[in-house]
Structure 1
Amino acid sequence: MSNVCASTPPGGATHATPATVTDRPDGGHPPLRFAVFGAGAVGTYYGALLARAGFTVTLIGRPDHVAAIQAHGVQLLTAEGSMHIAVAARTEAAAVADADVVLVCVKSGDTEAAARAIAAHLTPQAVVLSLQNGVDNAALLSRILGRPAVPVAVYVAVGLEGPGVVRHHGRGDLVLAPFPQAPQVLAALAAAGIPAAVSDAVPQALWTKLVINCAYNALSAITARPYGWLWAQDGVPALLQQVVRECVAVAAAEGIVLDAAALDTQVQHIAHSMATQRSSTAHDLLRGRRTEIDHLNGAVVARARAHGLSAPANQTLHTLVRLLEHGRGA
């Protein structure tokens, strides 16, 4: 992420000037208005960057998170420092009503409910982007909304450290599937300092991300440890390699060709580049919330069965996380 501001006084918020012609590639569109439905760590991070650049943004999230943002703005913590960013925040789905672009950032298990909640409030021209884990969420949104939802592969390591407080650990780039309004949306993202590109290979990108999540999310949750620590333990690299191989076989059965060796390299790289990061599944378990494990390792297991394959490493990780969920009342 670029252009990180110096720390501002606690409770203060930076107010950017309105977005300029940089988000109007054809010179005729007014600045885009954004809404983020399901503003957790990921949604709040991107919404805050867009608001900092001067775009109209409304974050829609949990009451405690929204209350903190309404009072103090979003506190964004990065390696370079801390800042507070003023941004509108609401709790009701109707807050998407004026948005030109809606970022859906809910957990996979909440996708159907999210679609039904926002359907009646979207403008006819609104673009819906799915910034979610898993490989089926955009298709589910599209079916329920009756309009195309754009799948987006998200590459960012962020976490909530409290209501209204987001810590950025690394990266922040997006890869979007093609859609008619892509040039205007890409220009807006660029104006906000968000690296983004359009690609026909988003299905492969989403599967690749699914494989990485299957490798680390469950194991980080089970041990409550970060990626760097996990990689350093005896037997873990071999286990992660087995998880990757199972995922690659299932993807191939689904018509998605993945490079197993390249994925092994990515898994190892993440252990070093995101050494201090714990998975979102780990954070969910610590907070007593339901995880996305059914849509990660669980999805691989279900698809493996459908194709007459087995995925024992993924099945074991899925089962262990589900047991922890039940034990903690999630």
Structure 2
Amino acid sequence: MARIAVMGAGAVGCYYGAMLAQAGEEVVLIGRPALAEAVARHGLIIERASGREVVHLPVASDPAAVAEAEIVLFCVKSQDTEVAGRQIATHLATDAVVLSLQNGVGNAERLAEVLGRAVIPAVVYVAVGMAQPGHLRHHGRGDLVLGNAPQGAALAKRFAAAGIPTEVSAGAETALWVKLTINCAWNAISALTQQPYGRILAEQGAEGLVMGLVAECRAVAAASGVTLPEGLEADVRRIAGTMAGQMSSTAQDMARGRATEIGFLNGEIVRRAEVLGISVPLNAAMTVLVRLAEARQD
């Protein structure tokens, strides 16, 4: 059996699974039947700026394929955490190490509650998308930050050997909040307009909207006991240059008619703000507008 299982192999899961497989690790991807069919027929196609590669590796659509895996990369959408967690719970090896490679904050804790075991949170920094089932486009980066865990150093070494820069950090929770804030700043706007980051920032008034979203996230983070770094606003602006042509994952989901993670991005800020008594009108508006757009597609 495969030593590493990727549960919920979309763009992120396929990327890391392919990197590990290319390094000689035994990997199985667990995803939709369309992915399994495409990879069985043509292999997993990875398109990079440097060219195209094809990786051949097993793909399953049955969550039971996690059985006997030493490491499980849990990459499902945030809204599917509990359901997918229950699907794999009875199949996990006793000593399997589970990592949550998901957007948002709190997913590792939610998954740990379902599984009845510790889950290591991982902050994912990679720009990838699926052109179609079995065809992955990599736009940049690919590094991970893992939360503190006894297995952390060994995992980081193993991933680094596969070309995945990985660090273990006590600041992983803050890093998750930083990523959440960046997603809240860009994802919904990109989804609603179907525009890339560079085009959004070029629009008059857009920068004020983006920075307003960041300010609300910063206030909620602070009230939650998390201090976001001083340079975050500059990093958010910089994305419009370094990833000018990139669309958000929320925009990609909406373009494909799939449910988005908006409830665990801007919606998470809204939920926490309500508990804390903080006003976050911009994040609330983004959440409502994306949900209305999703309802129109339904």
Same fold (TM over 0.5): yes
Aligned residues: 297
Aligned to 1:234: 204
Q: What is the letter of the counterpart of residue 145 of structure 2?
A: V
Q: What is the letter of the counterpart of residue 58 of structure 2?
A: A
Match of 1:191 among 161, 166, 171: 161
Q: What is the letter of the counterpart of residue 262 of structure 1?
A: G
1:114 paired with 2:84, answer yes
Aligned to 2:273: 304
Match of 1:167 among 120, 137, 157: 137
Query: CA deviation digits over 1:101-136, x for unaligned, max 9?
Result: 000000000000111000000001100000000101
Return the offset for 1:325. Answer: 0.4
Return the offset for 1:183. Answer: 2.6
Q: What is the letter of the counterpart of residue 328 of structure 1?
A: Q
**For 2:231, what is the secondary structure of its paired residue?**
helix
Tell me the distance in 2 between the aligned counterparts of 1:245 and 1:60: 38
Tell me the distance in 1 between the aligned counterparts of 2:141 and 2:14: 15
**For 2:140, what is the secondary structure of its paired residue?**
strand
Query: CA deviation digits over 1:207-256, x for unaligned, max 9?
Result: 00000000000000000011111111111111111000000000011110
Query: CA deviation digits over 1:264-301, x for unaligned, max 9?
Result: 11111111111111011111111111100000001101
Aligned to 1:324: 293
Tell me the distance in 2 between the aligned counterparts of 1:178 and 1:101: 16
Residues 86-235 of structure 1: matches in 2 within 5 Å? 86-235=56-205
Match of 2:241 among 258, 261, 272: 272
What percentage of residue pairs aligned between the two structures are identical? 53
| Structure 2 alignment gaps of length 5 or more | none
Aligned to 1:281: 250
| TM-score in terms of structure 2 length | 0.98
Query: CA deviation digits over 1:306-325, x for unaligned, max 9?
Result: 10111011111111101100
Residues 16-95 of structure 1: matches in 2 within 5 Å? 33-95=3-65
| TM-score in terms of structure 1 length | 0.89
Q: Over alpha carbons, which structure has the higher Rg?
A: 1
**For 1:121, what is the secondary structure of its paired residue?**
coil
**For 2:59, what is the secondary structure of its paired residue?**
strand
**For 1:290, what is the secondary structure of its paired residue?**
coil
Aligned to 1:292: 261
Q: What is the letter of the counterpart of residue 286 of structure 2?
A: L
Superposed CA RMSD in Å reads 0.9
| Structure 1 alignment gaps of length 5 or more | 1-31
**For 1:222, what is the secondary structure of its paired residue?**
helix
Tell me the distance in 2 between the aligned counterparts of 1:189 and 1:310: 41
Query: CA deviation digits over 1:131-176, x for unaligned, max 9?
Result: 0001010001111111100000001110000110110111111000
Tell me the distance in 2 between the aligned counterparts of 1:130 and 1:118: 13
**For 2:90, what is the secondary structure of its paired residue?**
helix
